Amino acid sequence: MTTKNQQEVCMMETMLSKKGLNFNALEKEIFKIGCEVAAALMTQALTQMDKHLEKNRDRKIYRHKGTRTTTLKTLMGEVIYDRVVYETKLESGEKAYIYLLDQMLELDTFGKVTANLASRIAESISVCSYRETASNVSSMTGQSISHGGAWNVIQDLGEKLSDLEKTDAQLAKEDQGRGEVVTPILFEEADGVWINMQGEDRPKKGRKCEMKMAAAYDGWESNGKSRYTLRNKIVVCGFEESKDFQRKKEGAIASVFDTDEVEIRILNGDGGGWIKGGLVDANVHFQLDPFHKNREIIRKVKDKNQRETVMRLLSEKRVDDLLLYLRGISELAEDEKEKKKLTELCEYFRNNKEGLIPYQERGLKIPVPPEGVEYRNLGTMEHHVCDGAAKRMKHQKASWTKEGAGNLGRILCKKVCGNLGKTVTSLSKTVLPERYTESIERVLSSAKSPLKDGKGYLYPSRGSDPFIGSFVTNGRKAILGLISDRKASDLIYR
C-alpha cells in the first residue's frame, strides 16, 4: 500500500471513529481538510514563485539577504511561508530592502489580511453584529476570527475611507477633483438618521445624535418593468458640522463627476439647516422632499376637507394662497393643539417656500437626458437612510461612539452604492487592517521599509549560541531554552 493510500485510510478511520458523526459533521470536517489542503497548496505556490524569482533575478541589482517568515490571513486560513529579502539601491544611491515576491503579486499591498477575507467581514458586518460576523466568518471560511478582530478590521477600513474622503475634499477645494463622469445635471438628496450614542459622545440630554447622510447621482436607468436604478450614485455620511460635511460631500462628488461640466444641480431634502448648506451657488435649486412634505400635511392637518384643499393648492402651485390659507385655518382653530400644529405647518412651508414646487414644474432649463437615462421625481433618500444606516445601526438596540458609527457608516454607504468589494480591494493597495492578528509582526514590504540599512532586517547568522563551551548553570539552561530554535528577530519586547 502506498503512502498516499495509507494516509487516506488513516484519515477515514479517524473520522469514522468520532462519536456522533453525521452528514453535517462530516461536511464540516471535509471542509476543514479542504481549507488545510488549499492553504498548503498556496504555501507551496508562493514558495516556488519565490524560488523562481531568486534563481532568475539580476544578481547585480538584487543581493540576497536571507529569508523571513510571513503569515497571511486568507479565506482558507493562515498561510505561512518564507520569502527572500533583497538589498537593492534606489536611484539616489541609497540602500533599500524589498521582497521581489511582494512586488510581483502586490502582496505588500495586502498586509496580513487578504482583500477577499476583508470583503467577507465587511459584507457580514453590514447586516450582523460583530459577534455574529466573527461566528459567520469563522464557520464559513478556514480562518478563525474573534469579534474584536472583526471590529478592528472595520475600524481600519473605515479610517482608510476617512483618509480618502479628506483627500477628495481637499482636491475639490483646490478645483483638482479626479471625477471623469460628464453630466449636465446632478441630483442630490440629504437626510439624517438618529442613533443611540454611548460614552463621551452621548448627549447630556437624550441619548441620540444625528448622523448626516447625502447622496448624489445623474439620473435613473430602467432595469425592468417599473424598476429603476440610480446612475453613478455616491453616498456619504458623518457627524461633522454642516460646513465640514458639505466639504466632504463636495469631495465625494468631485471624485466621480467632472463638476466643471455640471450646469444645474437639484438638492432634495427636508429643509434642515445643514441640508440647505448645500446651496453653494445659483446653479443649485432646492426642493422640499415629497415624503416629508406630505407627511407633515397628514400629521398637522386633522380635518380631511382642509387637507384636500392644502393638497390642491400645492398641485396648482399657488404657494402664496396656500400660506394664507394655512394661516387662516390656524387662527380659526379652537383646539390649542390643532392650532399649534397648523401654525407649525405654515411656518415650515414658509421657511421652505422656494422648494414647495417640484423642480420639473418651475420652468428651469433641464437638459435632455442621454439615451437610456430618465430624469424622474426625487425622493430616494429614505431608502438610502434605511439601507445605509437605520437597519443596521438604529433598529438593533445598539449604541455607538461617533468614531465607531462613522467607520461602519462609511462601509454601509459603499455597500448601498454597490461597490463595497471594489472599495476594499482598492484600499488593500495601500494598507489593510492587521491589528487583530495578535502577536504577529508587521509585514516588511517595499512600501513600509526604511531607506537606510541596519534597521532590524533579518541577515544571515554569523555567530554561535551563548554559553557554548562554558559551565552551564540552571539560569543559563533557562536562557538557552528561551532562545533555542528561534531567530534573533523574534526576540523582541512586546
Convert the pLDDT of each residue in 271-285 to its tens digit: 999 998 877 778 999
Q: Which of 154-158, 462-466, 489-493 has the highest mean pLDDT?
A: 154-158
pLDDT at 434: 41
pLDDT over 70, % of the chain: 81
pLDDT at 477: 57
Residue 442 has pLDDT above 60, yes or no: no
Per-residue pLDDT band at 479 (split at 50, 70, 90) = low
Per-residue pLDDT band at 23 (split at 50, 70, 90) = confident
Residue 456 has pLDDT above 60, yes or no: no
Residue 159 has pLDDT above 50, yes or no: yes
pTM value?
Answer: 0.76
pLDDT at 149: 87
DSSP reduced 3-state for 476: helix
Name residue, grid cell 443649485.
284
Q: Where are the domains of the chain?
A: 177-417
Residue 345 has pLDDT above 90, yes or no: yes
Per-residue pLDDT band at 65 (split at 50, 70, 90) = very high
pLDDT at 211: 95
Q: Pick the range with the lowest mean pLDDT from 172-181, 186-195, 236-245, 432-441.
A: 432-441
Dihedral sign, Cα of residue 401, residue 405, residue 408, residue 411? negative
Q: What is the pLDDT of residues 365-416, one digit of tens each?
A: 999 999 999 999 999 998 889 888 888 998 888 899 999 999 999 999 999 9
Residue 493 has pLDDT above 70, yes or no: no
The more confidently predicted of residues 113 and 169 is 169
Residue 11 has pLDDT above 70, yes or no: no
Q: Pick the range with the lowest mean pLDDT from 56-60, 233-237, 307-311.
A: 56-60
Per-residue pLDDT band at 483 (split at 50, 70, 90) = low
Rounded to the nearest integer, the mean pLDDT of the chain is: 83
pLDDT at 482: 52
Name residue, grid cell 508562493.
46
Residue 171 has pLDDT above 90, yes or no: yes
Name residue, grid cell 482558507.
76
pLDDT at 170: 95
CA-based nearest residue to 389, from 164, 238, 249: 238
pLDDT at 453: 39
pLDDT at 5: 63
What are the beta bridge partners of residue 246? Answer: none
CA distance 170 to 107: 30
Residue 355 has pLDDT above 90, yes or no: yes
